[in-house]
Amino acid sequence: MSLRSTVDFLLYQWLDAESLNERPRFADHSRETFDAVLDTCERIAREKYAPFNRLVDTQEPRFDGDQVILPQATHDAQKAYAESGMLSAAQDFEHGGMQLPYTIEAAANAFFAMASVSIGSGMLSTGNANLLMVHGTPLQKEVFAKNEFCGRFSGTMCLSEPQAGSSLSDVATRAMPDGEDYAQDPLGARYRLRGNKMWISAGDHELTENIIHLVLAKIPGPDGQLPTGTRGISLFIVPKKLVNEAGVLTGERNDVALAGLNHKLGWRGTVNTLLNFGEGKYPVRSTGGGLDGKGAGAVGYLVGQPGEGLRCMFHMMNEARIGVGIAATMLGLAGYEAALDYAKTRPQGRPAGPAGKDATQPQVPIIEHADVKRMLLAQKSYCEGALALELYCARLVDEQHSGTPEAADEARLLLEVLTPIAKSWPSEWCLEANSLAIQVHGGYGYTRDFPVEQYWRDNRLNMIHEGTHGIQAMDLLGRKVLMESGRGLALLAGRIQATAAQAQQVPELAAHAAALTAAWQQVTDATRAAWATGQPGDALANAVPYLQAFGHTVLAWIWLDVALSAQRQDATQSIAANVGRTRATAYFYHYELPKIGAWLQVVANRDLTCADMPEDAF
Amino acid sequence: MSLRSTVDFLLYQWLDAESLNERPRFADHSRETFDAVLDTCERIAREKYAPFNRLVDTQEPRFDGDQVILPQATHDAQKAYAESGMLSAAQDFEHGGMQLPYTIEAAANAFFAMASVSIGSGMLSTGNANLLMVHGTPLQKEVFAKNEFCGRFSGTMCLSEPQAGSSLSDVATRAMPDGEDYAQDPLGARYRLRGNKMWISAGDHELTENIIHLVLAKIPGPDGQLPTGTRGISLFIVPKKLVNEAGVLTGERNDVALAGLNHKLGWRGTVNTLLNFGEGKYPVRSTGGGLDGKGAGAVGYLVGQPGEGLRCMFHMMNEARIGVGIAATMLGLAGYEAALDYAKTRPQGRPAGPAGKDATQPQVPIIEHADVKRMLLAQKSYCEGALALELYCARLVDEQHSGTPEAADEARLLLEVLTPIAKSWPSEWCLEANSLAIQVHGGYGYTRDFPVEQYWRDNRLNMIHEGTHGIQAMDLLGRKVLMESGRGLALLAGRIQATAAQAQQVPELAAHAAALTAAWQQVTDATRAAWATGQPGDALANAVPYLQAFGHTVLAWIWLDVALSAQRQDATQSIAANVGRTRATAYFYHYELPKIGAWLQVVANRDLTCADMPEDAF
């Protein structure tokens, strides 16, 4: 099936996205306006992204000593994306936005991720600007966010530091008030920042007039010491080039210096940087009588209250993590599409059994071999299932923002529980799908003449950035399943049971319904057993196997719900497509869901084989 | 533990390799001579291979229109390898060989695979020349094999063709008798070959004076048609440059032309080619009144009898597949070593639980985190287990060649059953180990500043070449478990039961012994159920999940046997190392072996969800 028909089915038939138009915020929209957005994005992705995916892989960003050089194709793609209006898709009409449901925005952005995941860096600017629209002052919104929405500026998120990758409490970037009048700057309380930030995507380039860094840093206490822990973290706007209150560049460079480009395994179209803030490469004249004369740091404007930086940043976390999940999913689907096409056209070998022994018969397309079908169906099941999960979560984001108070609260809590899965599951299993896509291609898949090896390399990032697999697992088992006395888990249980109850009425799905109910029982039992001693060391020793089992169970639920929807066939739909959905569901229940037993066993036993391993025995 | 101490333990403590010296063929050897070979190879690998592993990845082979250019480092490594004598390690003393057991040869070669898998192409020359020593004429041995052993010539294996990758029965390269006197050529019956060969490693380069291609081709019947099927395949020596009976180059180029270099995901140090045979680029003057005047084909000399080409080629198959298994294993171990080193030295975060909340405490090395330990122990368990399996199989090769008739026959049959596992299991799970090594490194693992991403790319080849995963699976379930009325399976069962019986006596291992016995029962039940209808289409629909379950069960057995050996601690051994082995065994039994249930379920049910999937429903 084409991606578009799958997206249409999931959005309209399964998630009833059209009903969002009944809500005041989306009342001006209709199926037609949604489709127009999807059409536009599909077209731009096809014309401006897909043809250049290999090019951006081979022409990596480079620094000529002054500027970071990116291929012309990236400039063109960036321009087309900005012109589509997608940067401000979610914003109010009055701010020039499209006031689009997040569900549609996420689906539309998926086309770019599939066409070339590493050309697109719009997600960061959008996230950056959306954050400022919530936490910034009116002038910060005007000067920074709105210029990002129109594509004049772009944005970054600067969290990690070389000595503090995933451990944000160890952030050591220091922000000092910039002169006596620091609090009176119209752009926000003015500080001088010094520190190093690592893994900053889109951290330096010439795609836009300016780059707006959102930087986590700490303000020293009266004793001159940085506060410990994450509560001492504040958030700052640090533009690459200084601007005035009208958003016009003053002509002065801020003290943000490129310290290095990261050369990566994949995702090479996106420039990824190490940035030095306030190290004196571009010293800024003290505007308000800075604390010391020479290069006193990079100028930054406080966003929100001091010490609330992480809270502001994490406001956007669910959407960022869904964004990573979608990227992983779309890479998986890109590989599946390539493998399916190859399998249908490549002749090789003959069927198993006596008929295949006759070498005078012509060879058959490899899609006729059972194991090739298995590899294709696995890919379909992983990737279309993952897409359904991501769109389901996107729909919850809309529910959280525009639903009734009760529905919004439920959506919020469900998202807390599901987001670690939405981030981690596709990053693991759609990567596996990419490996299967290589395998379907045989030796050709191992060459750079076919696209699948690049998808596999690109996808390997997704288990690492935006919170590693291990961090998602600790978040799920250490926090999310416990929060509000387990109410999130109970809510999810309710939805799973509702799906199972419906599926039990459908002969073709009844066995799956029983398997899902049993699997969920195993998950809840294991959750309880993991925490039976109340010791985090016991419970979390096997957090990743727990995450894997939880993820597989969630996907089994999603597939069963999709299969129910496919059963409600109407005349507009392809019968073959619904056979495919039912078959992908059966694949998941027969081949995948049984894997949870092995993962949950160590969780339930609080197995410490790994956690207790003496270091010298490795 | 260092690789060397692991190798020493497995060779001497576990496999009792020293006892091979009691056999006449190896009587001149001793632990000292074995160690000298290991020392030499370890040193050359450290000095001539490891430092250049990244260099050969970035300086890919290129064709300047005349010659294929490889980095100087590759020339130096090739020279050092040839000088070590390893090319003829297995050959008789009288032929200049070392008359070394294959077990020691395989272990010694492992150091090169770990240091730089893609620099080393010695395996192909050795395999080529070993084949000629068995199937060639005395003059073929003298002219071709011996010049390969000394490193003057190198060798290739030319099987695949563009239209016939894994399907050898579709080989279309045509060999015509070269003139009336074709049968009288002293170098072997002389033919002219025409056809295209794909995926030829080391197919063109200037590392050696000449390249000896071993080429599969078909001799047309009286009707001018090529025989169908694999029985019509013959084997030919096709030198790149023609030689006389003294092995001296005649100065004439044979008609073997480079048609293209493959640009690969990894393994980039090895040149991989598409070769055209006899297409007239380098026409060869007819030596014996050829069939037509101009470029009648590439000159080739028949090896063995017409139609017996595959039989000759497959003679070396077990060793070639063990070689691939070792390559996959050593890439896994290289990643494990890098990840372990990183985890011990990289500070990040704090322990789980209340103690870890105190951000005033310094960060801890990441090896202290339970999930990092889990990822490290998984790597250790996969890779050291795989190494044990490969050396076990190598030991069977020696048994087959130098054991008593009964032992030799058992070894042969066990090898038939175990070889698909030796090839496939490390290629899947040591690749997974490489992925975990990246994950341990976090973002750094995704950069090309660390070696782990290259190991992962290099290792992805091993599931493809030398028989894909799918082909290994069909070989195992479709042929090997059935052959000689299941006697191979019964032999393996006996060995597994013997290990379990011993382990049952050891309190720490008794539970594993019970788990192994149960797992083996599941495997045999599933084997029977798969074939219950007698239909290959039913049985083989899930051959790959069967291969996976079979492999995991074999590895569980191998680990239990290794753990038994570790229990027989003597004073010369590191206690920590044996704790590590016991722990890696526990990891395998707790975290891995339970996975077989999910794989075997579809086998036992003869599940046709994938095999029956309608093509239009994908």
Whole-number mean pLDDT of chain A?
A: 95
Whether A326 has a pLDDT exceeding 70, the answer reads: yes
- Alpha carbon distance B107, B398 (integer Å): 13
Q: Which residue matches tokens 């809510």?
A: A491
In three-state form (DSSP H/G/I as H, E/B as E, the rest C), the secondary structure along B298-316 is EEEEEECCCCCHHHHHHCC
A350 band by pLDDT with thresholds 50, 70 and 90? confident
A352 band by pLDDT with thresholds 50, 70 and 90? confident
Q: What is the pLDDT of residue A290?
A: 47
How many whole angstroms from its chain centre is CA A425? 11
Tokens of B184: 């009288």
The per-residue DSSP string of A456-475 comes to: HHHHGGGGTSSS-HHHHHHH
- Alpha carbon distance A223, A232 (integer Å): 14
What is the extent of the structural domain holding B21? Answer: 1-120
- Alpha carbon distance A386, A392 (integer Å): 10
- Alpha carbon distance A136, A189 (integer Å): 12
Q: What is the pLDDT of residue A315?
A: 77
- Determine, for residues B449 and A263 on separate chains, whether the beta-carbon distance falls below 8 Å: yes
- Alpha carbon distance A90, B1 (integer Å): 55
Q: What is the CATH number of the domain that holds B339?
A: 1.20.140.10
- Alpha carbon distance A401, A416 (integer Å): 14
- Alpha carbon distance A331, A267 (integer Å): 11
A355 band by pLDDT with thresholds 50, 70 and 90? confident
- Residue of A163, A199, A617 lying closest to B579 (CB–CB): A617
DSSP secondary structure letter of residue A164: B
Q: Are residues A484 and A548 in the same domain?
A: yes
Q: What is the pLDDT of residue B476?
A: 98
* B378 contacts on A by Cβ (under 8 Å): 610
* A360 contacts on B by Cβ (under 8 Å): 228
Evaluate whether residue A615 is within a structural domain.
no
* A478 contacts on B by Cβ (under 8 Å): 352
- Alpha carbon distance A590, A45 (integer Å): 36
- Determine, for residues A377 and B576 on separate chains, whether the beta-carbon distance falls below 8 Å: no
- Alpha carbon distance B196, B599 (integer Å): 39
Burial class (CB in 10 A: 0-12, 13-18, 19+), A414: buried
Mean per-residue pLDDT for B77-101?
Answer: 95
* B595 contacts on A by Cβ (under 8 Å): 595, 598
Q: What is the pLDDT of residue A120?
A: 79
Contact predicate A545/A578, CB 8 Å? no
Residues B110-152 pLDDT 10s: 999 999 999 976 788 999 999 999 999 999 999 999 999 999 9
A248: closest CA of chain B, how far (Å) = 36
- Determine, for residues B348 and A442 on separate chains, whether the beta-carbon distance falls below 8 Å: no
Q: What is the pLDDT of residue B287?
A: 61
End-to-end CA distance of chain B: 48
- Determine, for residues A616 and B447 on separate chains, whether the beta-carbon distance falls below 8 Å: no
CA proximity to B171, closest of B190, B155, B195? B195
- Determine, for residues A618 and B376 on separate chains, whether the beta-carbon distance falls below 8 Å: yes
Evaluate whether residue A26 is within a structural domain.
yes
DSSP 3-state percent helix, strand, coil across chain A (nearest 5): 60, 10, 30
Q: Which residue matches tokens 């129109």?
A: A150
Mean per-residue pLDDT for A278-304?
Answer: 79
Q: Are residues A454 and A481 in the same domain?
A: no
- Alpha carbon distance A3, A265 (integer Å): 27
Q: Are residues A90 and A160 in the same domain?
A: no
Q: What is the pLDDT of residue B37?
A: 98
Pick the residue from chain A with its C-alpha nearest to B536: A353
> Which of A163, A274, A459, A618 should we substitute to test contact with B (largest number of B Cβ atoms within 10 Å)?
A618
A70 band by pLDDT with thresholds 50, 70 and 90? very high
Residues A226-258 pLDDT 10s: 998 888 999 999 999 999 999 999 999 999 999
The percentage of residues in chain A with a pLDDT greater than 70, rounded to a whole number, is 98
Evaluate whether residue B389 is within a structural domain.
yes
Mean per-residue pLDDT for A521-535?
Answer: 98
Q: Which residue matches tokens 């045989």?
A: A442
- Alpha carbon distance B437, B338 (integer Å): 7
Q: Which residues pair with A214 in a beta bridge?
A: A157, A237
Split into its structural domains, chain B has a count of 4
Mean per-residue pLDDT for A299-314?
Answer: 94
Q: Are residues A207 and A178 in the same domain?
A: yes
- Determine, for residues A618 and B374 on separate chains, whether the beta-carbon distance falls below 8 Å: no
Evaluate whether residue B300 is within a structural domain.
yes
Whole-Å CA distances, A442 to A446, A516, B468: 7, 35, 8
Three-class SS state of B247? coil
Mean per-residue pLDDT for B353-362?
Answer: 78
B429: closest CA of chain A, how far (Å) = 13
Q: Are residues A300 and A164 in the same domain?
A: yes
Low-confidence winner among A117-121, A129-133, B265-269, B500-504 (lowest mean pLDDT): A117-121
Q: Are residues B376 and B240 in the same domain?
A: no
CA proximity to B331, closest of B461, B210, B235? B461
Burial class (CB in 10 A: 0-12, 13-18, 19+), A568: exposed
B244: closest CA of chain A, how far (Å) = 36
- Determine, for residues A587 and B579 on separate chains, whether the beta-carbon distance falls below 8 Å: no
Q: Are residues A158 and A292 in the same domain?
A: yes
CA proximity to A381, closest of B617, B460, B474, B469? B617
Residue B261 contacts by C-beta under 8 Å, 6 or more apart in sequence?
B61, B62, B63, B68, B271, B272, B273, B274
- Determine, for residues A348 and B165 on separate chains, whether the beta-carbon distance falls below 8 Å: yes
Whole-number mean pLDDT of chain B?
A: 95
- Determine, for residues B605 and A614 on separate chains, whether the beta-carbon distance falls below 8 Å: no
DSSP 3-state percent helix, strand, coil across chain B (nearest 5): 60, 10, 30
Whether A122 has a pLDDT exceeding 90, the answer reads: no
Residue length of chain B: 618
Domain final residue pick, B438, B467, B496: B467
Q: What is the pLDDT of residue B290?
A: 47
- Determine, for residues B446 and A468 on separate chains, whether the beta-carbon distance falls below 8 Å: no
Q: Are residues A325 and A207 in the same domain?
A: no
Judged by phi (left if over 0) then psi (alpha if -120 to 50, else beta), residue B17 lies in alpha
- Determine, for residues B367 and A165 on separate chains, whether the beta-carbon distance falls below 8 Å: no
Evaluate whether residue A141 is within a structural domain.
no
Three-class SS state of A199? strand
A187: closest CA of chain B, how far (Å) = 32
Contact predicate A129/A310, CB 8 Å? no
- Determine, for residues A359 and B170 on separate chains, whether the beta-carbon distance falls below 8 Å: yes
Whether B337 has a pLDDT exceeding 60, the answer reads: yes
Q: Are residues A543 and A485 in the same domain?
A: yes
* A465 contacts on B by Cβ (under 8 Å): 443
- Residue of A230, A264, A367 lying closest to B446 (CB–CB): A264
* B613 contacts on A by Cβ (under 8 Å): 373, 376-377, 580, 583
Whether B289 has a pLDDT exceeding 70, the answer reads: no
Mean per-residue pLDDT for B568-580?
Answer: 84
Pick the residue from chain A with its C-alpha nearest to B576: A617
- Determine, for residues B590 and A577 on separate chains, whether the beta-carbon distance falls below 8 Å: no
Residue B260 contacts by C-beta under 8 Å, 6 or more apart in sequence?
B273, B274
* B478 contacts on A by Cβ (under 8 Å): 352
Exposure of A339 in the CB half-sphere (CA atoms within 13 A): 33
Q: Which residues pair with A365 in a beta bridge?
A: A347
B449: closest CA of chain A, how far (Å) = 7
Domain final residue pick, A467, A489, A522: A467
- Alpha carbon distance B236, B197 (integer Å): 13
- Residue of B453, B540, B614 lying closest to A265 (CB–CB): B453
What is the count of residue pairs from A and B with beta carbons less than 8 Å apart?
274
B124: closest CA of chain A, how far (Å) = 18
Tokens of A260: 């290095």
Domain final residue pick, A286, A307, A328: A307
Whether B355 has a pLDDT exceeding 80, the answer reads: no
Q: Are residues A454 and A593 in the same domain?
A: no
Q: Are residues A459 and A504 in the same domain?
A: no
Rg (CA), chain B: 25
> Which of B350, B376, B446, B559 should we substitute to test contact with A (largest number of A Cβ atoms within 10 Å)?
B446
Evaluate whether residue A217 is within a structural domain.
yes
> Which of A200, A201, A265 should we substitute to test contact with B (largest number of B Cβ atoms within 10 Å)?
A265
A437: closest CA of chain B, how far (Å) = 12
Helix (H) or strand (E) holding A5: helix A3-8
How many whole angstroms from its chain centre is CA B288? 40
Q: What is the pLDDT of residue A361?
A: 86
Pick the residue from chain B with its C-alpha nearest to A365: B615
Evaluate whether residue A251 is within a structural domain.
yes
Q: Are residues A274 and A369 in the same domain?
A: no
Mean per-residue pLDDT for B323-337?
Answer: 98
Whether B318 has a pLDDT exceeding 90, the answer reads: no
Q: Which residue matches tokens 């019964």?
A: B490
Q: What is the pLDDT of residue B616?
A: 96
Mean per-residue pLDDT for A567-588?
Answer: 89
- Alpha carbon distance A597, B601 (integer Å): 13
- Determine, for residues B442 and A167 on separate chains, whether the beta-carbon distance falls below 8 Å: no
Q: What is the pLDDT of residue B570?
A: 73
- Alpha carbon distance A493, A498 (integer Å): 8
- Residue of B371, B576, B583 lying closest to A470 (CB–CB): B371
Q: What are phi and psi of B302, to 5 degrees?
A: -60, 135
- Residue of B439, B460, B615 lying closest to A438 (CB–CB): B460
CA proximity to B115, closest of B458, B462, B460? B458
- Residue of B264, B583, B602 lying closest to A617 (CB–CB): B583
- Determine, for residues B540 and A611 on separate chains, whether the beta-carbon distance falls below 8 Å: no
Evaluate whether residue A133 is within a structural domain.
no
B545: closest CA of chain A, how far (Å) = 9
Tokens of B466: 């030398």
Q: Are strands A68-69 and A62-63 parallel, antiparallel or unpaired?
A: antiparallel
CA proximity to B256, closest of B218, B283, B291, B289? B283
A247: closest CA of chain B, how far (Å) = 35
- Determine, for residues A349 and B167 on separate chains, whether the beta-carbon distance falls below 8 Å: yes
In three-state form (DSSP H/G/I as H, E/B as E, the rest C), the secondary structure along A265-321 is CCCCCCCEEEEEECCCCCCCCCCCCCCCCCCCCEEEEEECCCCCHHHHHHCCHHHHH
Q: What is the CATH number of the domain that holds B181?
A: 2.40.110.20
- Alpha carbon distance A200, A213 (integer Å): 9
Pick the residue from chain A with its C-alpha nearest to B373: A610
Positions of A marked catalytic: 466
CA proximity to A437, closest of A485, A377, A393? A377
Catalytic residue among B337, B384, B453, B466: B466
Pick the residue from chain A with its C-alpha nearest to B370: A611
